[in-house]
Amino acid sequence: MLDLIIRNARISGEKDTVDFGCQDGRIVERVHHLDAPAHQEIDASGNLVTPPFVDSHFHMDSTLTYGRPRVNQSGTLLEGIALWGELKPDLDFDDIQSRARLLCRWAVGKGNLAIRAHVDVCDPALLAVRALLEIREEMRPYLDIQLVAFPQDGYYRYPQAGALLEEALDLGVDVVGGIPHFERTTAQGTRSVSALCELAAQRGLLVDLHCDETDDPQSRHVEALAFETQRLGMQGRVCGSHLTSMHSMDNYYAGKLIALIGEAELSVIANPLINITIQGRMETYPKRRGLTRVKEMLEQGINVAFGHDCVMDPWYSFGSHDMLEVAHMGLHVGQMTGVDQVRSVFDAVTVNAARAMQLEGYGLDPGCNADMVILQAEDPMEAVRLRAHRLFVIRRGEVIASSPEVNSTVTLGKTQEAVGFRNGELPD
């Protein structure tokens, strides 16, 4: 007797629907028709079934603080940093946890079952680290949280950051973070890349640095990150987040750098919602977009993922932790509207992000964790277009969130009008 069967599931790129059989938290069957009894059956009705969405870059310590102690009036990065400085001394352990819990509930409802959260370690009490380590364990039945020790105020620039970062790792934080472009000088930034990669190599940990999140085309820390990754034999275990300087770089140099990123097997994590609102902010016209070179790197076989980065915090007043909203923005800003490009944008919030986080058992093949999302859409393009409704969110073979289908018709006066057409509802 199987625990769960999902029937009539549509998988991206496959013509016929399939049935999934799940047992003991894993997918054990994936066939066109599964003839077996099960404790529970779900009819996906030809809707798209995908492995869960993955947010590979997020800030859980600051999330849902919108309006505290005041709203970011200008919407700029600088006012955001100032606001975070005002807010940080008043952060409270219980408050960090209750905001994180709420965000995780939103995430589960949207089918996001893995989040990599950068947590600020520039706090002598490591309050957010301690609070989120508990949340990581509390949420394990529902979603996977990876914590990154992130020295927001600089690994060298903030006096105790090095010791605090190591203390955070000792407490159980998973990944080594950094922010080389924020150090006082380029040389210090480069040194921080070396030191942080060495620290991760010694401890056998992954690396994910906020790297060159600037419009300065001369910012060269991605190059250093690729070099250190190769020097230390850490290929495939290092992520560069943001990389917005690459948008502004000379094409000749960017071409060389992309090759270096490929050699080092870096994963790249862009954050379209934040990059498009913060980069190029000081300019008149023409205005740079600031998103890193997503299309070009994907074409070179580099693993590119998208993160949400912020939801309702000092830097970003919007968001509901919907990774399809992130994909939708990335597609527009990166001008990736080709059919294969839309599919790769969908991958950026699913499989590529899972690879960046090195999640185990991720996918829809037999043997993978029985973690899936059934979307009210027939393919990735429709899912992105509609930011499709999540009908079922399944974790280890159990439904952990569900909602009824939404109707695409509304009553206008005395007539019913269709809004937000599904593909099958388009008039002939």
Q: What residue ranges bind Fe ion (CB under 5 A)?
A: 309
- Return the closest-CA partner of residue 206 out of 131, 265, 158, 133: 265
The single residue of 41, 167, 213, 417 carrying the catalytic annotation is 213
Nearer to Fe ion, 50 or 62 (CB): 62
Nearest distance in Å: CB 341, Fe ion = 24
Nearest distance in Å: CB 427, Fe ion = 44
Is 382 an annotated catalytic residue? no
Helical segments of 72-139, H only: 77-87, 93-109, 127-138
Nearest distance in Å: CB 59, Fe ion = 6
| Burial profile 307-344: b = 16 or more Cβ within 10 angstroms, e = fewer | bbbbbbbbbbbebebbbbbbbbbbbebbebeeeebbbb
Nearer to Fe ion, 267 or 369 (CB): 267
Pairwise CA distance, residues 93 & 54, whole Å: 26
Burial, 19: exposed, middle or buried (Cβ in 10 Å; 0-12, 13-18, 19+)? buried
Nearest distance in Å: CB 57, Fe ion = 6
Q: Which residue is nearest to Fe ion (CB)?
A: 309
Pairwise CA distance, residues 154 & 161, whole Å: 7
Tokens 């807010």 sit on residue: 87
Nearest distance in Å: CB 316, Fe ion = 10
Helical segments of 180-322, H only: 186-203, 221-231, 245-248, 251-263, 272-278, 294-299
- Return the closest-CA partner of residue 64 out of 252, 310, 269, 243: 310
Nearest distance in Å: CB 176, Fe ion = 15
Pairwise CA distance, residues 39 & 19, whole Å: 15
Handedness of CA 288, 294, 299, 302 (dihedral sign): positive
Pairwise CA distance, residues 57 & 271, whole Å: 8
Nearer to Fe ion, 212 or 309 (CB): 309
Residues with catalytic annotation?
Answer: 213
